[in-house]
Amino acid sequence: MAEVLGMFTVQQTIGNVLCCKCGISMQPNAAHMCAKCLRSEVDITEDLQKHVVIVHCPECDGYLQPPRSWIKAQLESKELLTFCIKKLKNLNKVKLVNAEFIWTEPHSKRIKIRLKVQKEVLNGAVLEQSYIVEYVVQDQMCDSCSKVQVNPDQWVAAVQLRQHVSHRRTFFYLEQLIIKHDAANRAIKIQQLDQGIDFFFGHRSHALKFVDFVSRVVLVRTRNAKQLASHDHKSNIVNYKYTFSVEISPVCREDLICLPPKVAASLGNIGPLVICTKVSNSIALLDPFTLRHCFLDADQYWRASFKPLLSSRQLVEYVVLDVDVVSEEVNIGGSKYVLADIQVARVSDFGKNDTIFSVRTHLGHLLDAGDYALGYDLYRANSNDFELEKYKGLVLPEVILIKKSYEEKRQKKRGKPRSWKLKSLIMEVDNSGKGRDQEQKMNSEYEHFLRDLEENPDLRFNISLYRDKEYQQSETTSVADGEDVPSIPLEELLADIDLNDIDVEEDDIRE
């Protein structure tokens, strides 16, 4: 105000005083001493712990939280920092300002943390001081790991995942979901079988938690049983072994289904021929001729379960000759569909006959004349489905198209590596009765799964894909080679971080 009126103002300054011990000039405080003299007189970290012993399990990277619980934490993680700070006694006497790790050799069995604390000292003056706490790591196996070391087959609960189909596409997808959510971190052993996967756990609660996770991501029904393992008559202690049988629905994405009459009637007389477009803890069904859709949850499906009429292994490749769009674009569950009348011919018939099929499809927004598509050949299919026989007078279409095919364009990229990769579970593989044909079949199904991830963004939305460090783009690669072939953009890929690589980089920086 005074400046606005043009009046003279006196600048307010803070005067300096001399330290009562060393005599240097300083800003006044309640103790009348400089920071150096104050630290020499008072040590606020005197009653705080400087050395602590923590127990670490080398098998599962867990740390003992007395009396019996174990906390899993990686080196220099937030979880480990919180665990170490909680181990300190009398820390409530000071105010914690900051905490950070100090690098130590991984094999030194030492963890060092620098803490910065504040405390009110002489006459209300606040002193801030840093000090280092050293944690001595003692290795000791937890109960679960010690049982495994003594007897690897000493499990308490087993979860048996089964799906009665001729392929493993569902298990490939489920494996990626388990890895992303770390759902099998408590598993003692994982064993891969011909029609499923077995997970073994050291506690019944861990198995129940895993079953609950699986039921939230795929359509399942569960049965359980228990068997007496041991009984101590003196102390009346009884030990059981629990088994959870988890059956996954045989309906998979892209399967052709003939709905039972009662199910079709309960869904508003949809179909009866429908396509499965999505599978999670419910099934999404689509009528490719009318674009009517519906969803079935676990209770609805298992109340009147059904099997697919034809599966993705029976898809036939067609070439599109003509396309006539008959409806506008419709958005169903985040996916776009357009009805169209299309003329197609089997690729295998080229040079043999002139058979042409006129079909109605939901892929009018994707297909143009000259494109290739995969579909089910009902003209030559020999179906013995009981549900189909219940519909008297039903005229089956000759062809039902499922998706666009990029096989011809992929031929140009055959043998070239991908810029991304997937992680996999560490499993024991049961090779009994398997030959080279089974191994080739497994590799072929895995390759089809990778192609599905590239073609379908919705399918890869819930899984983690990682950049391949060994991938190097060839100088001779032509841009036209991969034209119009679906691929995964780089922004969707995660960096595959390896702690060993980080240690090497830090060593290079120090040198």
Q: Could you read off the pLDDT of 309-352 as tens digits, one per residue?
A: 998 888 999 999 999 999 888 888 788 899 999 999 999 888 78
Neighbouring C-beta atoms of residue 500, cutoff 10 Å = 8
HSE of 313, CA atoms in CB hemisphere, 13 A: 10
* pLDDT classification of 473: cutoffs 50, 70, 90: low
Residue 60 has pLDDT above 60, yes or no: yes
Are 36 and 22 spatial neighbours (Cβ–Cβ below 8 Å)? yes
Cα separation, 482 vs 303, in Å, equals 46
Greater pLDDT, 363 or 6: 363
With CA atoms as reference, report the closest residue to 183 among 159, 222, 213, 144. 213
pLDDT value at residue 500: 46
HSE of 339, CA atoms in CB hemisphere, 13 A: 11
Q: What is the mean pLDDT of residues 199-228?
A: 93
With CA atoms as reference, report the closest residue to 118 among 128, 133, 109, 108. 128
Distances (CA, A) of 241 to 206, 213, 215, 315: 13, 21, 22, 43
Provide Rg for the chain, Cα atoms.
34
Q: Which of 180-189, 286-295, 471-480 has the lowest mean pLDDT?
A: 471-480
Distances (CA, A) of 342 to 268, 339, 349, 379: 27, 10, 17, 16
Are 174 and 218 spatial neighbours (Cβ–Cβ below 8 Å)? yes
pLDDT value at residue 8: 64
Residue 504 has pLDDT above 50, yes or no: no
pTM over 0.85: no
Residue 5 has pLDDT above 80, yes or no: no
Residue-wise pLDDT tens digits, 441-461: 888 888 888 888 888 888 888
Distances (CA, A) of 373 to 36, 104, 332, 357, 487: 80, 59, 21, 13, 18
* pLDDT classification of 511: cutoffs 50, 70, 90: very low
Cα separation, 339 vs 200, in Å, equals 48
pLDDT value at residue 1: 55
Cα separation, 498 vs 120, in Å, equals 44
Q: Which of 65-69, 250-254, 412-416, 479-483 has the lowest mean pLDDT?
A: 479-483
* The dihedral formed by the CA atoms of 360, 362, 364 and 370, expressed in degrees to the nearest 10: -70
**Region class of 137: left (phi > 0), else alpha (psi between -120 and 50), else beta:** beta
Percent of all residues in the chain with a pLDDT value above 70, rounded to a whole number? 87
Residue 499 has pLDDT above 50, yes or no: no
Q: What is the mean pLDDT of residues 76-105?
A: 90
Residue 469 has pLDDT above 80, yes or no: no
Residue-wise pLDDT tens digits, 370-389: 999 999 998 888 777 777 88
Q: Which letter does DSSP use for residue 220 in this model?
A: E
Cα separation, 54 vs 65, in Å, equals 9
Greater pLDDT, 474 or 100: 100
Residue 237 has pLDDT above 70, yes or no: yes
Mean pLDDT over each residue of the chain, to the nearest integer: 84
